[in-house]
Structures are given as structure tokens and as C-alpha cells.
A and B are shown apart, each in its own frame.
Chain A
Amino acid sequence: MLTSEEKVYFGILVILTLSWAAIDFARIAAVIVSRPGFSVRVVLSRAVRRLPSMLTQVGATLPVFRLRPREGVFHYLIFAAFSFYALVNVLDTFSAFTGFSTIGQNVLLDAYNLIADVLSVLGLIGMAYFLVRRFVQKPPVLNFNPGVVLYPKVSAGGIRRDSLIVGAFILTHVGSRWLGTAFHLAQAQETSLYLPTASVVSLALAGLPAAALAFGVHATFWLAVGLILLFFPYFVRSKHIHIFFAPLNWLLRPDRPLGEIQPLKTDGRPLALQDLRWHQLLDTYACIMCNRCQQVCPAHNAGQPLSPAALEINKRYYLTDHLHEFADGSAPRVPLLDYAISREAVWACTTCGACVDICPVGNAPMLDIIDIRRSLIEQGDTLDAGVQKSLENLGKQGNSFGASGRARAKWTQGLPFKVKDARKEPVDYLWFVGDYASFDARSQQLTRLVAKVLNDAGVSFGILYEAEWNSGNDARRVGEEGLFEMLAEHNVAALDSAQFKEIITTDPHTMNALRFEYAKMGKRYKVSHYSQVLARLVDEGKIVLRPQNGVNGATRRRVTYHDPCYLGRYNRVFDAPRALIERSGLQLVEMPRNHNGSFCCGAGGGQIWSANSKQAERPSEQRIREALALGDVQTFIVSCPKDMAMYSDAVKTSGNEGKVVVKDIIEVVVEAMAESAHEPKR
């Protein structure tokens, strides 16, 4: 039990530290809540609805295991210990004030003691692991590429210092409590089956004089519970505030699909923190600075100075340094480009969404990047020549190629039948072909194959001919919002003039725009990717695949498949292409990064239009390397016309011609169909 003097000091400490922390905490809350778009009602109803799923998500710290399972385990140890310690600290304080002991009372408290005892040790192990990792192992994933903008305190080692302080705190806090229990046991000259590790230590302490034991009990209390109080104010300013904000973020973040982005008014001014929406600031506080987003970022992997992690970290350091001004609204507008991210980095993002998908606390750094692009476009930033040309082409001709808009359906020449004009006759499927599939010479023949297969399967489909314009998906992600609106308005009018039940797209980027972004214009379309329609037709028996491959004991050819960002992560289509591959008699060997963890080819977000010469190794080349490392895989299957362009090039530039062939999923299907045609009729 504490002395009465100690009790007074403790009381004062509680009041001082908690109110100090609370004030800062309130400031943070005020900063977030005062941002545009925050509505208590919306956020509350969202919170209520999400609570169960959040609890399982956070309770199991599921997202932490992705990409780094080992760290996931050790993190879980700390997480579990720390969570349980919330209860432990309360009970310890209670005991310290009343002299109550949890030892040897009842089954419940026995269980409590056992858990606390075991978790203490596990938590200490977990923490030790991370300290060794950061300070001894120094894994490269924690480093930033050269050229990545870092807040001065970050480049001065701020994150390491923060980690060291927090690590030392946790070790001291948990360690002291654990040791404290041992002192208690030694003082009471007992051991408990329910405190196995503390009991062992208590035996070692047993020989100490009583005064030393009493001192030990008091000192460890102050080091455990007193320290945590002292720590509260620091805590709010450290990266460990994520333990509050990560669950909050999972609870409150908008439930918009990845591919639906919000309009933004920048008034032609450089984008500052003040322009960001509330959830973009919540992100900042939720960030645990783990660099997972950077680890999956194609631009960072290509050696470019873009790190989505650094963006969130810089925002956070800046906000923390200027919290008072932000809370009372007096903070000057300082462009994010001055301290959070470089212009070059902003233009390097492929909008692949991998950072959003991987982030264990539900952050979306990509959205900030798109917003900064928008303000840059508004301000008339000097654009990459290729990007500018493509935007101008989109404005003039409705396609990025700068080809005549009237030549949109030129690819249909050479088909043995006329593709229906959906504006003139009703069709079941409206095929929104997209720019690459329509104009790229390499893709055109694949587009014709799709048309033939659909036609042979008796599908009623049509196209919009020259009324189809680029969907605007990439224009929007380059930040050219006005152009996106113009293209979308045009396409919506064209779609209105046609009669159809469902839309098919070849290009996954187009699929995203039609499905998620046009919905915001009041148009809800049912949109499928051609791989989905093909899979459906196979299921219905309208496409017959009876491959010889793998039949009669023949080994099946090993192939791999690349999930396009906009098909997988954005549209959650994973199974249809895989089903087609399997049904075609091929053996699918997954690359290490597959499904929503797929690695971007580097084309998205307008990158396919830009020169982007500063890449050490192109993402597409890295991906080809990944495929070849599977061994004995000679076919690399894609389901996006841009992938066809990117990877057939990457095979050459990485010097792997002849080792691996890039094939579109339609070629796979057609080959399997041809085989079934050759099979003798029974």
C-alpha cells in the first residue's frame, strides 16, 4: 500500500498528466473535426454499424500480419500485453491505495494473474524483438529512397528516437510491473501457481532484507503506474498515439470504394493541410510509421523519391509542431509541397492503391497525392510533355492517342461480321472498349478476338462507335478534374442514347470509372470485366473449353497471372480470370504478390503517358523478374490492354525475350477453344 504522502503525490500526478494529455488530445480532435466534410451524425452511425467488424479487425490486429507475418506475431504480443495492462494498471492502482491483493482470492483473479504474468513476459519479448530489429538489424524497409522529402525532425532521426523512448518505456513499464509482482510475492513470502514467472523471480529476491523488498514494491509501482502517467502527455505527441487513432480510423474512415474519389475545390492555390478533408488528417494520426505502404509502392520500388509513408509522417510531424495554431485556426497556409512531399514524387504515383490496401491502420495516402495533383493542374504546373499531350488529345478527340475520334471503331474492320451499334438497336451487353483496346495496334487484334468469341457464343452485344470517349479515369487521377467531368458527361449522354442491360469493359481503369465514379453522377451501371463475361459464358456452356493440356496424364503447362490494380484491388475481380486459366487446362502458379497484394505494372494514374525516365528498374521489369523466379513458367497472363503494352515491352527490356511470353486471357481462352474444336466429336 502507498503511504499517504505517496497517495497525494499520485493524485497530483494523475491530474496534471491526464489533463495535459487531454488538452492536447482535444486539440487534435478539434483539428480533425473542424475539417470540411466532418458530420457527427454520419460518423456516429458509421461507428455504430462498424463496431463489431472493427473489434474483430483490431482485436486480432489482422492487417498487421500482412506483408510482415513475423512482425505481426511480435506486435501481437505487445498489443495483447498492453491492452491487458489497461486493466492491470487500474487494479494495481486500486491495490496500491487500498492494500487489496489479487493473489489467492478466487478463480477469476487467479486467471487474471496468470494472464498478466504470461503476457508480461510475452510483451517484454515482443518489445525486445522490435528494439533489436530497429537498432540492431536495421531492416532496409525502414529506410527512405534518396530524394524523398523528410521533415527535418524525421531526417534527424526523430522516428528512431521516438521508437527508442517508447520501447524503453514499455520495457520499463511492463518490466517494473512484473518485477513488482515478484517483490510482492517475496514480501509476502509466498509463491503462486498462477504467477509462474513472477514466482520464480520472487525466489531469487527472497533473500533480500525487508526494507529492500518494501522499497522494491514502492519503486516498481512508481516505475510501472507512475511512469505511464508521466508518459501520457508524451504519448499524444508520439507515433504510439496510433493505439487510439488506428481503431478510430477503422471505425470512422469513409466507406467509399477505393476507386471513387471526391471532388475538391482548391481555388487555384497550392494545397495545404487546411484543404484536406477530416479523414486525411485522421490518417496522419493513425499512421504508425511502419513503411508498409512504401514497401509496396511501385514508384518507391523503382527508386523514385515517392514514399506514401513519408507523406503521412511529414504531415504528422508538421501538425504536431503546429498543433496550437491549427487548433485555434491561426496556422498559416503552408503548401504541402514545401515540407510533406516533392512535386516529382507527386507525379510519380501510379494510383495503384497498394498503399491504401496494405496500410494496417486504414490510411489512404494516395488521396492526398491526387489532391495535390489537382491543385497543381489548377495552378498551371508545367506538365510532363507526354501527359500534357495526352490530356490535350483527350480534350480534342476523346482519346489519349490523339487519333481521330471517328476512328474509334476502326478495329472492327476485318471482323467477318458487323458489330452492332448500341445507339441504334438494343443489345444485352454494351461493350465499352476503351482507348488501348481500340487504338493500340498490339491490342486491336486481341479486341477482335474478344469480339469473335462473344459473337460465336451468341452474345448480343454492341458498341457506341465514335460516341465512346475515354472514360476519364486516368485524367481524373492525373488531377484534371474538369476534363474528367467533360468526358464523363459525354459518355453518360452516349450511354443514355443506348439500350442495354449490362456494360462490359476491356480496360479495368474504365471499369472503375463507369462503376464507381459515374455512380456519383447518378448513373448506376452494372459493369463487368470481359474476363467475368467470358467465365460466365464458359459456365453456361456457351464457350466450350476442352483443352488437351493436362488430359490423359499429360502435364499441365505452368503459367502465372498478373492481377491488374484496377481489376483486383479496385474492382475486387480475382476469380474470373483464374477460373478461365484453370478451365483452359493450365496450371496457375501464383507469384508471391497476388490478388489484392499484386504489384503495379507502373502504367496507371497517367504514368503510361509520361516519360518517367528516372526509374532505376521499371516496376514492370521487376514484375517479370518475379514471374521468372517461379521457375519453369513461360507464360505471363494479363487481363488489361495496358498490361499487354507494359509487359511485352518489359520482357524485352529486361532481356528475357524467349524466356517468357505475355498473353492476354482471351488468347488463353481461344487456344483452349481451338483445342476443343480439334477434339474428335463423340
Chain B
Amino acid sequence: MGNVLVVVEQLNGKTGEITFEMLGKGRELASALGGELHALVIGGQADELGIADKVWVMGDGALAHYTSANHKAALVAAISAISPRVTLIGNTSIGMDLAAGASAATGIPLIAYCNALRVEGGQVVGTSQIYGGKVLAEVAPEDGACIVSVLAGAFPASAGRSDKTPVLETLAPPALDNRVRFVRLIEPEAADVDITKAAVVVSVGRGIQSADNIELADGLADALGGVVGASRPVTDAGWLPKSRQVGKSGLRVKPKLYLALGISGAPEHLEGMKDSGLIIAINQDASAPIFDVAHYGVVGDLFEIVPALTEKIKG
């Protein structure tokens, strides 16, 4: 059998985007393997998972709060009960606890940091992004089953949503492992923005011209769920606090998306952001060095493009 099991990630009662990304991919893998797509919910709720053929729901209040020990035990129990061919786990904080832990406990090999998956001659082949993204390794399990930890954003989430109602089945929870005990969740304080932790940084340079125009960047950052960063002249001028400065004498950032608006790309600035996942630069000057490190570039006026872009994203 070639069933694919997606481990549903829920925090604070909300299903993470990564889950739908995995479900979409899982659907594709399941049909290539001639099996079913299953989802596993540990201690949570099974809404929105209509794309799965079957949803396993394990546990109750005791597992409601995520703890690495309990949820690992639960996952291990579920894998031995369901025996999936492929187990997909998000490469998130939670997934980092679970995937390697389950691999060690079950002896099933793990493909980590996976950003591409396919079935070839009946075998699952995964591509793992290692060495800081500088190398892609194509790997396959020596035999049969595997666990895969999937990078966020690797697959489209849209393919993982459906309004069908899945078959629900309950699984008995394992004995609790109380060596790790949940205390509380702490929400980030709204006041302090840490640009090094944001997935999206919308950075502005001197091209923004004045403090008043910063709100343009704020709007775009809000729409993208990101934060606003800056080059040094902008923080020097006091248009943004020093804590937003990217670069040699500021902070080094590595977000998934870095938007450089009106930044020329001086070496001191590039030093702080060149390793970002995706860099898009908007600058009037076609010869600005920022275009040497950006993945995509637009030669144009930021005051025209940014408002239009914000509008478009807001939908």
C-alpha cells in the first residue's frame, strides 16, 4: 500500500498554512503511489481537512496543548497503527521536534528540509535543501517508507484545500509522557519589531525621500504580513528607528522575501540582506548594484509601483 500521511500542525487552535501545502502535495503523491491521503490530528480539531481521504483524530484534552514529548509519542503510535508509506511533517519548530524524533523511534528514514517530492518508478524521491540552500540533494529511502520534513512555502497551499467532508476515525492516544509540560503561550509584544525574525522585510532606502512616505512601505508590509526595514540613511535621518537598519552596521536579515525599495545596494547594505530567499528590487536606476543580488528587478518609480502593488495584494 502507498498511503500518504500528513501530520496536521495546529497552534492555538489554528491550522498552519504548511498543513495545506503538504496536503496538496500529499494528494499528488498518493495518487502516484496508488494509495490514499490521510491526515493526522493530534489533540486538535479536524475542520478544513476535506481534501484528505481519511482524517485520524487522536487524543483529547490531554494532548490539546502541544508538547514535544507527548506529541512525539502520539505520532510514533499513529505511524505504527497506520503504517503510511510517506509521512509528511512541516519543517517548522514543531516539525523539528517530531520528524527526527519519530524517525529515531521508528527506524524509518527521514528526508529533512525537503522542497521537492516526486514518485519515480514507484519510489519516493525527495530533494533536500542543505548547506544554506547552496546545495540540493536528491535522496530516496533505501527501502519502502520514509518520513519527510517539508520546508514551508515549497508547495502551493491552494492545492490542499477542499470543502468536502472527510472520513473521520479516532485513534487511541498512547500513554502520556509528562516529562515535558506545557506552561503557557506568549504572544509577541506589538511594540518591538524584530526584523531578523520576520519572513517578509519591506526595506526602504533614500529613494523614499521623506519620513511621511514611510507609510507607503508600512502599507505594503502589512499586506504581506511583514515588517519594514531600511538602509542606513533612512535610520540616520530618524525616519525609522535604528533597530530597522539592515546592513553592516545594522542587522543581518535572511527573510523569505526581501523587497528593496529605492535602495542602491551599497556593499554595506548588501552584506546585511544578500542571503534572503527572494529579493525583489524596485529602483529608478537600471545600473544600481542592488540588481546584482536581486532575483527580480523593476526599473521604475517606487511611488507608482508600491501603492499599486499594495492594492493588488490586498485584493
Whether chains A and B associate is yes
Q: Does A675 contact B (CB under 8 A)?
A: no
* Mask of A389-417 contacts with B, CB within 8 angstroms, 1/0: 00000000000010000000000000000
Chain B residues with CB below 8 A from A441, complex form: 267, 270, 289
Q: Which of B249, B266, B268 contacts A612 (CB 8 A)?
A: B249
Residues of A within 8 A of B232 (CB): 649, 653
Nearest residue in B to A611 (C-beta to C-beta)? B249
With contact pairs A652-B206, A653-B233, A653-B236 given, residues A611 and B250 touching in the complex (Cβ less than 8 Å): yes
Alpha-carbon distance between A652 and B232 when the two chains are bound, in angstroms: 11
- B266 & A649 in contact (Cβ 8 Å cutoff): yes
A610 contacts B249, C-beta separation under 8 Å: yes
B267-A442 in contact (CB<8A)? yes
What is the bound-complex CA distance between A610 and B206, given in angstroms? 22
Q: Is B181 an interface residue (CB 8 A)?
A: no
**Residue A335 at the B interface, CB < 8 A?**
no
Q: Which of B253-285 contact A (CB under 8 A)?
A: 266-268, 270-271
Inter-subunit contact B249/A386 (CB<8 Å) = yes
Q: Does B242 contact A (CB under 8 A)?
A: yes
Task: Say whether B248 faces chain A, with CB atoms less than 8 Å apart.
Answer: yes
**Chain A residues positioned under 8 Å from B271 (CB to CB):** 401
In this assembly, does A378 line the interface, its C-beta being within 8 Å of a C-beta of chain B? Answer: no
Q: Tell me the complex Cα distance, A612–B206, Å.
A: 20
With A652-B206, A652-B233, A653-B233: A645-B249 Cβ-Cβ less than 8 Å: no
Q: CB-CB < 8 A to A143: which residues of B?
A: none
- Bound Cα distance from A134 to B16, whole angstroms: 72
- The answer to whether A71 has its CB under 8 Å from any CB of chain B is no
Task: Tell me the A442-467 residues at the B interface (CB within 8 Å).
Answer: 442
- A645 contacts B268, C-beta separation under 8 Å: yes
Closest partner residue, chain B, to A618 (CB atom): B236
Min CB distance, A97 to chain B, in Å? 71
| Nearest CB of B to A123, in Å | 51
B230-246 contacts to A (CB < 8 Å): 232-233, 236, 242
Q: Which residues of A contact B249 (CB under 8 A)?
A: 386, 610-613
A442, A613, A645, A652: which contacts B242 (Cβ < 8 A)?
A: A613
Q: How far is the CB of A658 from chain B (nearest CB, A)?
A: 13
Within 8 A of B (CB), among A129-186: none
Interface residues of B in 58-97 (CB under 8 A from A): none
Number of interface residues of A (CB under 8 A): 14
The main secondary structure of chain A at its interface with chain B is helix
Across the interface, which residues of A come within 8 angstroms of B289, CB to CB? Answer: 441
* Interface: A440 (CB within 8 A): yes
A442 CA to B266 CA, complexed, in Å: 8
Residue numbers in B under 8 Å from A649 (CB-CB): 232, 266, 268
Minimum CB–CB distance for A95 against chain B, Å: 69
Q: State the CA gap A612–B250 with chains docked (Å).
A: 10
A434 to chain B, nearest CB (A): 15
Chain A nearest CB, measured from B240 CB (Å): 13
State the CA gap A611–B247 with chains docked (Å). 10
Which B111-167 residues sit within 8 Å CB-CB of chain A?
none
With a CB–CB cut-off of 8 A, which chain A residues contact B248? 386, 609
Q: Tell me how far the C-beta of B287 lies from the nearest C-beta in chain A, rounded to whole angstroms.
A: 13
Q: Which residues of B contact A440 (CB under 8 A)?
A: 267
List chain A residues, Cβ under 8 A from B206. Answer: 652
- Shortest B134–chain A CB gap in Å is 12
Nearest opposing residue in chain B for A386, CB measure:
B249
Among A386, A611, A649, A653, the one with the most B-chain Cβ atoms within 10 Å of its Cβ is A611
Question: What B residues does A653 contact at CB under 8 A?
Answer: 232-233, 236
A610: chain B residues at CB < 8 Å are 249
Interface string of A607-639 (1 = CB under 8 A from B): 001111100000000000000000000000000
The CA of A407 and the CA of B309, in the complex, are separated in Å by: 39
- Complex Cα spacing A645 to B248, Å: 12
B95-119 vs A, CB cutoff 8 Å, 1 = contact: the mask equals 0000000000000000000000000
Q: How far is the CA of A501 from the CA of B40 in the complex (A)?
A: 74
Interface residues of A in 409-441 (CB under 8 A from B): 440-441
Rounded to whole angstroms, the CA-CA distance of A609 and B268 in the bound complex is 10
Name the distance in Å between A219's Cβ and chain B's nearest Cβ.
Answer: 65
Q: How far is the CA of A652 from the CA of B262 in the complex (A)?
A: 14
Q: Mark B197-210, 1 if CB is under 8 A from A, else 0.
A: 00000000010000
Measured CB to CB, the closest approach of chain B to A659, in angstroms, equals: 16
| Cα(A612)–Cα(B233), bound, Å | 14
Question: Would you give the shortest CB distance from B41 to chain A, in whole angstroms?
Answer: 43
Given contacts A611-B249, A611-B250, A613-B242, contact A645 B233 (CB under 8 A): no
Whole-angstrom CA separation of A440 from B233 in the bound complex: 19
- Mark interface residues in A526-537 (1 if CB within 8 Å of B CB, else 0): 000000000000
In whole angstroms, how far apart are the Cα atoms of A653 and B235 in the complex? 11
With CB as the reference atom, state the residue of chain B lying closest to A440.
B267
CB distance from B283 to the nearest CB of A (A): 15
Interface string of A563-595 (1 = CB under 8 A from B): 000000000000000000000000000000000
Cα–Cα, bound, A401→B232 (Å):
19
Q: Please name the residue on chain A nearest to B252 by beta carbon.
A: A389
In the assembled complex, the Cα of A386 lies from the Cα of B252 at a distance in Å of 10
- Neighbouring A residues of B250 by C-beta, 8 Å: 611
- A-B CB contact pairs (8 Å), 14 listed: A386-B249, A441-B267, A441-B270, A441-B289, A610-B249, A611-B249, A611-B250, A613-B242, A645-B267, A645-B268, A649-B266, A649-B268, A652-B206, A653-B236
Which residues of B approach A to under 8 Å, CB–CB? 206, 232-233, 236, 242, 248-250, 266-268, 270-271, 289
Chain A residues within 8 Å of B, Cβ to Cβ: 386, 401, 440-442, 609-613, 645, 649, 652-653
Q: Which 10 A-B pairs have the closest CB atoms?
A: A611-B249, A441-B267, A653-B233, A440-B267, A613-B242, A653-B236, A386-B249, A442-B267, A652-B233, A386-B248
Q: For the A-B complex with A441-B289, A613-B249, A645-B268 known, give 9 more contacts whose Cβ atoms are closer than 8 Å.
A: A401-B271, A442-B266, A442-B267, A609-B248, A611-B249, A613-B242, A649-B232, A652-B206, A653-B232
